[in-house]
Chain A
Amino acid sequence: MTPAAHRRGALGLLAGGAAAACTPRRRGETVLRFWAMGNEGGTVGQLTPEFERRNPGVRVQVQALPWTAAHEKLLTAYAGSSLPDVSQIGNTWVSELTAIGALSPTPPQAAGLLDDQFPAVLKTNQIGGRAMATPWYVDTRLIFYRTDLLRRAGFEAPPGTWAEWKRAMHAVKRAAGQGNFAILLPLNEFEQLLTFGLQIDEPLLKDEGTRGNFSSPGFVTALAFYRSLFDEGLAPVASATQISNVWTEFARGYFSFYFSGPWSVGDFRTRLPASFQPNWATAGVPGPNGLGASAPGGSSLAVFSSSPHQEAAWALVRYLSEPQVQARFNQIVGDLPARQSAWPIAGVERDPMLAPFRGQLERARTVPKVPEWERIVTEMQIVAERMVRGQFTPETAAAEIDRRADRLLEKRRWMLDQGRAL
């Protein structure tokens, strides 16, 4: 037994002791510790009794974490050798958790879970050709728009290309009247510019993800398009905190296009009056030539390599990935199921507001899978905000983003030179 195993054993004993103190524990019972975040953390407990019924001798202990602390908590738990057996993780964390060797790759008996996934979401979970986590639910961003204002501006259908979109925005701004805008692009959120960046042909990083590729002609076009929306008065120069209440501003006509994910469908339905409901719809994001990509989001289920209960842990992942269970979870929390076979069971596409998400998910494109990615897009947005405020042109902004990305990726280049990174 290695010292680490000793320590883990001791920790296990301690944890076991603590668990035994809380709930009576039967001899020989396996306790699976499962961390889940946000809404899922509060509701997944409704699904676990059925799993426990089917797997006698296994008990699932769900620990709910807030999203704001989840990432830190996972890394700290890794450093302190106290990771749970299974956890929900944001699917952009997969590369980072793989880099530190925390994840247990999908075993052959669970490979079937990956058959009917959305390709871009699955790709996000694959590092070096192996699936390191199993997609649980998916989301992506598309556009929410005001059908009534668009119609008044002379557009019956939502736009399909950037050029068409720009025309529609100018017309809708005129229709909405003085003091209103056409689209909301909060300056402190990177998702909108990232979406435009994913719609171009060139990848965002080059040389095996060790250098920024933001100076590519495509990304400069995306930057120029983003900036023109502010320069032409179509988007307010504001960050999200300055918009106190997105849905009421949307209903007021302050903006007619809004980028968001499936969670906003529920918000718009519950927070806006019934009389307003016919006036909005969702549609795929316009791209440079025809409907374009956006980033695949959502959560995955990860089994940690430190867990002594690999088999039970994977059984739980398999259970939570069953189309029936995913459909039931969709009814409970409204998450879009990761497996496409669960969509018809849950009847997601019967909802006209959710149906466009299917097409958008099929068009989704994976963001670069390097552990530094989140920092890189954060820096990208800081530079983009300065560009909008006039400090950079699209070309100089692109060069500045590249400079910052290259600096953040310096360690990764060194790791690759040493042959230590994937």
Chain B
Amino acid sequence: MTVADPTLARARPGRGIGARERAAWGFVAPALLAIGLFFCIPVMAALALSLTDFDIYALANLENLRFVGLQNYERLLTNPLFWGAMRNTLWFAVLGVPLSIAASLAAAVILNARVVKWRPIWRVMFFAPYVTTLVATAVVWRYLLHTRYGVINWGLTSLGLPAVDWLGQPSTSIPAILMFVVWKIFGYNMLIFLAVLQTVPDDLYEAARIDGAGPWRQFRHVTLPAIAPTMLLVSIISVASFFQLFAEPYVMTQGGPAQSTVTVLYFMYEEGFKWWNLGSASAVAFILFLCILAITLVQLAVARRLGAYQ
């Protein structure tokens, strides 16, 4: 709160506020310094880099660097592979964000239920995928998804369904990677939801029960409104992380089959480290930054309209 006791303000006019401001700056200075050093400067450098044609020649000798204005952006926007990567990333986000939030929330609600025994053990089991090394789990999932020897196809065929070539077909590669990603990350958001669910007072549920609300109506009218701000936070984090999906397709499919799992970040990686066009790769990073910013602003606007926060 900035408005202090009026009597106090009158007693020490001007000078006091200055000292307090100085103290405040002193407290935030380390954080600001870190943000400036590790965020603002690199971002500015990347922006500058995106206006140059930094490539393999410039790597050998900086004299070969040229300022090219917006040419990198112009070329990207006319590159069909870039648009393909955008489309794939959108698919990942549109399918992945609701799925992962639903999985996290479901797990949190189950863990929060009174009837569940051995809660810490369940919590560890659900959270374990998140803290396990990505590459190790990806290798296991590649076995699970294997066309001929995979447990998933074994399940499908024993139900009488046809086997699916999960990672070999452009149409199933995104769902296959999504399964893996959702399994991998739902534990983290589950913990956030669980923490909030435990702050919802029991008397609200009691009152709802007395009014005759069943489990679904309790969830809809008590739980959801109570966790709405958290939901917003989780959805923003999830959108940002799904837009930055890279390691999973890199480890599982290398962007294939037929470029169906090339995400924007994977595209940027290839541009930057396969072809060593760092200028163009920085331009991709900037476009991605603007996309995430725009979507986050839209989410905030929607949330404000729905009254999730003030």
**Interchain CB contact (< 8 A) of B256 among A75, A241, A421:** A241
Asked whether any CB of chain A lies closer than 8 Å to the CB of B46, the reply is: no
Distance of A107 Cα from B256 Cα, bound (Å): 42
Contacts of A418 in B (CB 8 A): 64
Contacts of B273 in A (CB 8 A): 72, 75-76
Distance of A241 Cα from B147 Cα, bound (Å): 13
- Do A241 and B55 touch across chains, with their CB atoms under 8 A apart? no
Q: Which residue of A lies closest to B147 (CB)?
A: A244
With A101-B60, A420-B64 known to touch, is A411 a contact of B168 (CB < 8 Å)? no
Contacts of B56 in A (CB 8 A): 75, 96, 99-100, 371
**Interchain CB contact (< 8 A) of B168 among A241, A371, A375, A414:** A241
With A76-B273, A375-B275 known to touch, is A244 a contact of B57 (CB < 8 Å)? no
Contacts of A165 in B (CB 8 A): none
Distance of A37 Cα from B291 Cα, bound (Å): 38
Distance of A418 Cα from B256 Cα, bound (Å): 39
- Do B254 and A68 touch across chains, with their CB atoms under 8 A apart? yes
Distance of A78 Cα from B256 Cα, bound (Å): 28
CB contacts under 8 Å to B, within A76-96, are 76, 78-79, 96
Contacts of A68 in B (CB 8 A): 254
Contacts of A415 in B (CB 8 A): 57, 64
With A99-B56, A100-B60, A371-B56 known to touch, is A241 a contact of B170 (CB < 8 Å)? yes
- Do A420 and B275 touch across chains, with their CB atoms under 8 A apart? no
Distance of A303 Cα from B257 Cα, bound (Å): 35
- Do A99 and B57 touch across chains, with their CB atoms under 8 A apart? yes
- Do A75 and B276 touch across chains, with their CB atoms under 8 A apart? yes
Q: Which residue of B lies closest to A96 (CB)?
A: B56
Contacts of B63 in A (CB 8 A): 420
Asked whether any CB of chain A lies closer than 8 Å to the CB of B305, the reply is: no
Distance of A375 Cα from B276 Cα, bound (Å): 11
Contacts of A420 in B (CB 8 A): 57, 61, 63-64
Contacts of A75 in B (CB 8 A): 56, 59, 273, 276
Chain B interface SS verdict (over half): loop
Asked whether any CB of chain A lies closer than 8 Å to the CB of B248, the reply is: no
Distance of A78 Cα from B60 Cα, bound (Å): 9
Asked whether any CB of chain B lies closer than 8 Å to the CB of A188, the reply is: yes
Asked whether any CB of chain A lies closer than 8 Å to the CB of B66, the reply is: yes
- Do B64 and A72 touch across chains, with their CB atoms under 8 A apart? no
Distance of A101 Cα from B56 Cα, bound (Å): 11
Distance of A80 Cα from B273 Cα, bound (Å): 13
CB distance from A417 to the nearest CB of B (A): 12
**Interchain CB contact (< 8 A) of B257 among A241, A375, A414:** A241
Distance of A75 Cα from B56 Cα, bound (Å): 9
Interface string of B40-80 (1 = CB under 8 A from A): 00000000000001011101110110100000000000000
Distance of A239 Cα from B273 Cα, bound (Å): 25
Q: Which residue of A lies closest to B80 (CB)?
A: A382
Q: Which residue of A lies closest to B275 (CB)?
A: A375
**Interchain CB contact (< 8 A) of B165 among A239, A244, A375, A411:** A244
Distance of A72 Cα from B66 Cα, bound (Å): 23
Asked whether any CB of chain B lies closer than 8 Å to the CB of A71, the reply is: yes
CB contacts under 8 Å to A, within B212-268, are 254, 256-258
Asked whether any CB of chain A lies closer than 8 Å to the CB of B15, the reply is: no
Distance of A334 Cα from B33 Cα, bound (Å): 58
Distance of A335 Cα from B309 Cα, bound (Å): 66
CB distance from B53 to the nearest CB of A (A): 6
Contacts of B53 in A (CB 8 A): 411
**Interchain CB contact (< 8 A) of B57 among A76, A79, A411:** A411
CB distance from B165 to the nearest CB of A (A): 7
Q: Which residue of B lies closest to A407 (CB)?
A: B75
Distance of A147 Cα from B207 Cα, bound (Å): 83
CB distance from A400 to the nearest CB of B (A): 13
Asked whether any CB of chain A lies closer than 8 Å to the CB of B157, the reply is: no
CB distance from B201 to the nearest CB of A (A): 54
- Do B66 and A414 touch across chains, with their CB atoms under 8 A apart? yes
Contacts of A371 in B (CB 8 A): 56-57
CB distance from B209 to the nearest CB of A (A): 56
Asked whether any CB of chain A lies closer than 8 Å to the CB of B114, the reply is: no
- Do B64 and A100 touch across chains, with their CB atoms under 8 A apart? no
Distance of A393 Cα from B15 Cα, bound (Å): 80
**Interchain CB contact (< 8 A) of A241 among B59, B169, B274:** B169
Contacts of B274 in A (CB 8 A): 71-72
Distance of A418 Cα from B53 Cα, bound (Å): 16
Contacts of A375 in B (CB 8 A): 275
**Interchain CB contact (< 8 A) of B258 among A71, A99, A239:** A239
Interface string of A367-386 (1 = CB under 8 A from B): 00001000100000000000
**Interchain CB contact (< 8 A) of B55 among A79, A188, A239, A411:** A411
Q: Which residue of B lies closest to A421 (CB)?
A: B57
Contacts of A76 in B (CB 8 A): 273
Q: Which residue of B lies closest to A187 (CB)?
A: B258
Q: Which residue of A lies closest to B169 (CB)?
A: A241
Contacts of A414 in B (CB 8 A): 66
Contacts of A99 in B (CB 8 A): 56-57, 60
Distance of A265 Cα from B99 Cα, bound (Å): 46
With A75-B276, A414-B66, A415-B64 known to touch, is A241 a contact of B258 (CB < 8 Å)? yes
Distance of A253 Cα from B116 Cα, bound (Å): 59
- Give me 9 A-to-B residue pairs in the complex whose CB atoms sit less than 8 angstroms apart, sorted by A's number: A96-B56, A100-B56, A241-B170, A244-B147, A371-B56, A371-B57, A411-B55, A420-B57, A420-B64
Beyond the given A76-B273, A78-B59, could you list 5 further A-B residue pairs with CB under 8 A, ordered by the A residue number?
A75-B56, A100-B56, A411-B64, A414-B66, A420-B63
